[in-house]
Amino acid sequence: MNRLSQILRTFIPLVILAAATRGHAQVGIYGTLNASHVDNPSTAQSISFGGKTTDYWSTGFGVGIYYDAYHLGPISLGLDLRGSDAKQVKTGLGGVRLAIHPPILPLKPYVEGLVGGTNSTNIYNTANTNFVYQVVGGLDYTIIPHFDFRAIEIGYGKISSGITTASTPRSTLINVSSGIAIHF
Number of neighbours of residue 90 by Cβ within 10 angstroms: 16
pLDDT above 50: residue 71: yes
Does 16 fall in a domain? no
Among the ranges given (10-24, 99-113, 144-158), the one the predictor scored with the smallest mean pLDDT = 10-24
DSSP for residue 51 = T
pLDDT band at residue 55 under the 50/70/90 scheme: confident
Does 19 fall in a domain? no
Does 116 fall in a domain? yes
Does 54 fall in a domain? yes
Does 158 fall in a domain? yes
Q: Quick check: helix, strand or coil at residue 50?
A: coil
Residues 60 and 85: beta-carbon distance below 8 Å? yes
pLDDT over 70, % of the chain: 69
Q: Which phi and psi angles does 73 have, rounded to 5°?
A: 65, -130
- For the chain, the average pLDDT equals 81
Does 166 fall in a domain? yes
Which domain, by its residues, includes 135? Answer: 26-183
- CA 78 to chain CA centroid, Å, is 11
Q: What is the CATH number of the domain that holds 32?
A: 2.40.160.20
pLDDT above 50: residue 92: yes
pLDDT above 70: residue 137: yes
pLDDT band at residue 110 under the 50/70/90 scheme: very high
Does 43 fall in a domain? yes
- How far apart CA 183 and CA 97 sit, in angstroms, is 15
- Read off the pLDDT of each residue in 104-108 and give the average, rounded to a whole number: 94
- How far apart CA 62 and CA 80 sit, in angstroms, is 13
Does 31 fall in a domain? yes
Question: How many domains does the chain contain in total?
Answer: 1
